[in-house]
Chain A
């Protein structure tokens, strides 16, 4: 497909400017004048419409295809939440309204949504309070670690490091490091769990927190999670829960009940808000009782007369972490989703997510080596190590899936699994879709034996063929230039 710059023809345009009816002012200083005209495409309106419509048709999305990208929970986002967000009373609100004298009374509905969402998320996760302000999961993580730092500082302690397993999401060590902590990495034992001996050795009076996700990135639930939390607490450290994998445990287990003190959620995963591809996102943070006072301002409060307001007077708060109250539209969608599904619906969603992943695991385990264990939670990790013997990599299988109309699973993560393929089907896919995907995976496994070249040359059906990822990373060429 041609770039829009390549469609450009001198003199062609898609607009007509009115004649200038004000005096033309000359004399702009030389240094502000361009030496040559900007290189913008000269195209008609139809050129633009066709170009972007065709470009959008190349897009691969949950709305068009199965998207089992592990760890990302690419569930379908029901469209009714879009309708609710589009209601004038929400979409036309000015974000400064609650700060205007008397303005809060004109934004009661929105404030109530924020207030109720915090309560619902607290109930779902077993935490005491939530802030919906963080603008993405990683931002929520940083906020969570800042809360941990504020808590220790308030108690007069100078703790230096945060313990993180080697199977963690890359954002965990990044958040800890940005908040000023050293990172101590704990290896995974032969069963795929945190190595308890290494953990006990690393844990001491300098440990600020232990960052975990449960089920972990291998898609398995750690049966010793309570013991890990008890050890951390005994050493004076806090437990941080990465909510990326919450979709596996709704209504079954609450992080707050098993000893987690801070948690962030990715609303775009568990609560079916759009995966932004850069935003807007939402990464609400929940805390246990003893951390409430440190939450960022403002806090949404309910007055004794039942009305809602924003409270900025929290002297222990870590302060502002974002303008306004988070990405309100995203929070609203999650709120609508939670209310629509209700308690039983959320539990059923988790159960089906786990069932779908186990179905994939059960049907594929004879073809690809499972990373760990007999069963999994909401995602299963398989290895293409067997296929590697034929010279076929996880990457080749991923590219072949694209040809067959499926988004590839996450590959090469978690990094501790050789040729990892991490499949997260989610609860929103039918058995027929899962079967079709599984058949293609089996087909790929058999091609690896009989005709590995077919996998090496995939994808063949896309507008671009196999890309040279190495060259793209070593010599990035991001800008079009005229020849």
Chain B
């Protein structure tokens, strides 16, 4: 399981890659591994407003359907339309080709509520106890 160092993480297993006032987001390697083979992804529409820790996408796998929550509040700038036809990209490349959306951040302070890679790693270890 990989946890890249340069990203921020949520307790619901989303990752966030900051770039100025923009953030690229997706679900973590741990999340895709727990879900199993992903079969369908419902993404927000560009222009949609999302709120931190609130619903922004839905992921369906052979095991379950799960909600994905936005790591930051803001406006969706673009989404990864590749995922519609190729949801398996999230299984294959959770942090790169499997990105979900780019969001224009409305409040950068929200990053204080997220974890860094070390904290996220500890958080996951705590879960499996």
Contact = CB atoms under 8 A, between A and B. Distances in A.
Interface of A: 170, 412-413, 415, 418, 469-470, 473-474
Contacts of A412: 63-64
B98 interface: no
Contact of B62 (A170, A415, A418, A469): A469
A412 B60 CA distance: 13
Nearest to B62: A469
Contacts of A418: 34, 128
Interface string B59-94: 010111110000000000000000000011000000
Contacts of B40: 473-474
A384 to B, nearest CB: 13
Contacts of B128: 418
Contacts of A473: 37, 39-40, 60, 62
14 contacts: A412-B63, A413-B64, A415-B66, A418-B34, A418-B128, A470-B39, A470-B62, A470-B88, A473-B37, A473-B39, A473-B40, A473-B62, A474-B39, A474-B87
A413 B63 CA distance: 9
Contacts of B60: 473
A470 B35 CA distance: 12
A259 to B, nearest CB: 29
A298 to B, nearest CB: 37
A469 B37 CA distance: 9
Contacts of B63: 412, 415
Binding site secondary structure of chain A:
loop
B87 to A, nearest CB: 7
Contacts of B62: 469-470, 473
A2 B2 CA distance: 46
B87 A415 contact: no
B64 A470 contact: no
Given A470-B37, A473-B39, A473-B40, A415 B88 contact: no
Given A415-B64, A474-B39, 13 more contacts: A170-B65, A412-B63, A412-B64, A413-B64, A415-B63, A415-B66, A469-B37, A470-B88, A473-B37, A473-B39, A473-B40, A473-B60, A474-B40
A474 to B, nearest CB: 5
A170 B63 CA distance: 13
Nearest to A469: B62
B18 to A, nearest CB: 27
A383 B66 CA distance: 20
Closest 6 CB pairs of A and B: A473-B39, A470-B37, A412-B63, A469-B62, A474-B39, A415-B64
B68 to A, nearest CB: 14
A168 to B, nearest CB: 13
Contacts of B87: 474
A469 B63 CA distance: 10
Most buried by A among B34, B60, B62, B65: B62
Contacts of B34: 418
A473 B62 CA distance: 7
A474 B60 CA distance: 10
A386 to B, nearest CB: 12
A44 to B, nearest CB: 40
Most buried by A among B60, B64, B65, B128: B64
B52 to A, nearest CB: 16
A352 B88 CA distance: 45
Contacts of A415: 63-64, 66
A474 B88 contact: yes
Nearest to A476: B39
A473 B59 CA distance: 13
Nearest to B39: A473
A170 B65 CA distance: 10
Nearest to B86: A474
Nearest to B63: A412
A436 B76 CA distance: 55
A432 to B, nearest CB: 33
